[in-house]
Amino acid sequence: MEVGFLGLGIMGKGMSMNLLKHGFKVTVWNRTLSKCDELVALGASIGETPAAVVKKCKFTIAMLSDPPAALSVVFDKDGVLETIGSGKGYIDMSTVDHPTSTKISEAIASKGGHFLEAPVSGSKKPAEDGQLIILAAGEKALYEEITPAFDVMGKKTFFLGQVGNGAKMKLVVNMIMGSMVNAFSEGLVLAGKSGLDPHTLLDVLSLGAIANPMFGGKGPAMIQGNYSPAFPLKHQQKDMRLALALGDENAVSMPVAAAANEAFKKARSMGLGDLDFSAVFETVKDLQH
Ligand SMILES: NC(=O)C1=CN([C@@H]2O[C@H](COP(=O)(O)OP(=O)(O)OC[C@H]3O[C@@H](n4cnc5c(N)ncnc54)[C@H](OP(=O)(O)O)[C@@H]3O)[C@@H](O)[C@H]2O)C=CC1
Ligand SMILES: O=CCCC(=O)O
């Protein structure tokens, strides 16, 4: 199967490499074109523009940073809309809000093309290992056609119905995760300040009802102040902002998520946006001075 891939950031690189490893013919494009080199060395072709990739491939996947990026790649000059049409599918796996996804879906449909949103849970390592959780919604026929690619990139795919449901599910999950990492950060600081060893806290947490891969995976690095980015903090703050907007739309009060969003905003103002989202720990430490 020949697949186009737009966006070779932390996630897109791992996902497209997996497709290549499993025998897919992949044509890649990235705004910063030099990021295509590693993929080309592994056998990928380059498309000069999103339009060129879509022209060449029956299916094109996108993995872009945020709503402005997702919209730009579709609507701007040399974008997806210039060459999408009957018989072609566009699958946007970026984390965006449902109005963005709907706008893209409608534009693709107006050209006779087919659309699926498919944001993912799981980070850099699951992307590299083909262990993502894929939250698909949109055209069921396209979902079925692209399933061989999802099977390579993910360990489980959910089909959630109409366009927008994938985006909403993803934002709910990341809203919970963003609140959790803030509570976890406060716990680490409280343990340290009250004379406890934070490593012992990790051991205690790992054995109880609130054990989870995030505490176990991020905790030791956070204690060391190592925030090498798997999931950039600026993207987590974007997800909190979009989840809070979904809360506004549905009159859902979310004071915990709102406070967590403030902490991520503070972290961005401290210049931590490109570090891992666990760097929000630094804002909690900062409050104690
Ligand atoms: N990292 C993670 O753990 C996870 C991330 N996600 C989501 O996946 C998406 C990608 O994340 P990730 O790979 O980490 O992000 P990165 O910041 O590593 O990559 C972002 C990608 O978007 C491209 N991009 C940004 N702005 C534009 C634009 N205006 N026009 C065209 N391309 C643009 C970048 O191109 P360039 O190289 O030129 O900057 C790059 O390819 C995000 O929506 C994120 O929320 C979902 C699950 C996990
Ligand atoms: O959107 C990013 C999610 C990161 C994760 O699921 O670990």
Please report, for the domain that includes residue 74, its CATH number. Answer: 3.40.50.720
Write a three-state SS string for 1-23.
CEEEEECCCHHHHHHHHHHHHCC
Q: Is the CB of 122 under 6 A from ligand 2?
A: yes
What local confidence, expressed as pLDDT, does residue 176 receive?
Answer: 98
238/242 Cα distance (integer angstroms): 6
Q: Is the pLDDT of residue 87 over 80?
A: yes
The pTM of the whole model exceeds 0.95? yes
- Looking at residue 18, its pLDDT comes to 96
Find the mean pLDDT for residues 159-188.
Answer: 98
Closest alpha carbon to 175 in 256, 98, 233 = 256
Ligand number, closest to the Cα atom of 241? 1
Q: In whole angstroms, what is the distance from residue 6 CA to residue 36 CA?
A: 10
Q: Are residues 205 and 108 in the same domain?
A: no
CB of 174 closer than 6 angstroms to any ligand 2 atom: yes
| 170 part of the active site | yes
Instruction: Check pocket membership of 35 for ligand 1, CB cut-off 6 A.
Output: yes
Considering the domain architecture, whether residues 45 and 148 belong to the same structural domain is answered as: yes
Q: What is the pLDDT of residues 230-265, one digit of tens each?
A: 999 999 999 999 999 999 999 999 999 999 999 999
Residue 30 three-state SS: coil
pLDDT interval class at 288 (50, 70, 90): confident
Ligand closest to 9 (CA) is 1
Q: Are residues 146 and 225 in the same domain?
A: no
Round to whole Å and give the CA distance between 252 and 100. Answer: 21
CATH of the domain at 174: 1.10.1040.10
Q: Indicate whether 106 and 174 sit together in one domain.
A: no
ipTM surpassing 0.95, yes or no? Answer: yes
Q: Which of 13, 170, 234, 238 does the annotation list as catalytic? A: 170
120 CB near ligand 1 (under 6 Å): yes
Distance 220 CA to ligand 2 centre (A): 18
86 and 135 part of one domain: yes
Q: What is the pLDDT of residues 272-286, one digit of tens each?
A: 999 999 999 999 987
Give percent of the chain above pLDDT 90.
98
Q: Which of 162, 195, 214 is the last residue of a domain?
A: 162
Residue to mutate (ligand 2; options 124, 174, 214; most atoms within 8 A of CB)? 174
Task: Give the pairing of strands 114-117 and 132-138.
Answer: antiparallel
What domain range is 51 assigned to? 2-162
Gap from CA of 237 to ligand 2 centroid (Å): 12
Rounded Cα distance, 181 and 179, in Å: 6
User: Do 7 and 147 fall into the same domain?
Assistant: yes
206 and 228 belong to one structural domain: yes
Clarify whether residues 87 and 174 are in a common domain. Answer: no
Confidence of residue 289 (pLDDT cuts 50, 70, 90): low
* Ligand nearest to the Cα of 94, by number: 1
Ligand 1 midpoint to CA 220 (Å) = 26
> Greatest CA span in the chain, whole angstroms?
65
* Of 100, 130, 162, the domain-final residue: 162
Q: In the numeric block, which tokens belong to residue 133?
A: 């959780």
The response to whether residue 230 sits with its C-beta less than 6 Å from ligand 1 reads yes
Q: Are 89 and 118 in contact (CB under 8 A)?
A: no
pLDDT digits (tens, 9 = 90+) for 16-38: 999 999 999 999 999 999 999 99
Cβ–ligand 2 distance for 157 under 6 Å, the answer no
End of a domain among 137, 162, 187? 162
Give the tens place of pLDDT for each residue, 150-164: 999 999 999 999 999
What atom of ligand 2 comes closest to residue 121's alpha carbon?
Answer: 6
Q: What's the gap in Å between 11 CA and the centre of ligand 1?
A: 7
pLDDT bin (cut points 50, 70, 90) of residue 130 is: very high
Indicate if 239 and 275 belong to the same structural domain: yes
| Pocket lining: 94 vs ligand 1, CB cutoff 6 Å | yes
- Structurally, the chain folds into a number of domains equal to 2
Together in a domain, 282 and 238: yes
How many beta carbons lie within 10 A of that of residue 214, not counting itself?
14
Q: Exposed, middle or buried, 236 (CB in 10 Å: 0-12/13-18/19+)?
A: buried
> Which amino acid residue places its CA nearest to atom 6 of ligand 2?
122
Q: Report DSSP state, residue 189.
A: H
Q: Are residues 12 and 80 in the same domain?
A: yes
Establish whether residue 19 lines the binding site of ligand 1, counting it when its CB lies within 6 angstroms of any ligand atom: no
56: DSSP letter: H
Does the structure show a pLDDT above 80 at 72? yes
- 153 and 246 housed in the same domain: no
Query: pLDDT at position 258, please?
Result: 98
- Whether the per-residue pLDDT at 106 is higher than 70: the answer is yes
**pLDDT band, very low/low/confident/very high, at 287 (cuts 50, 70, 90):** confident
Task: Assess whether pLDDT exceeds 70 at residue 63.
Answer: yes
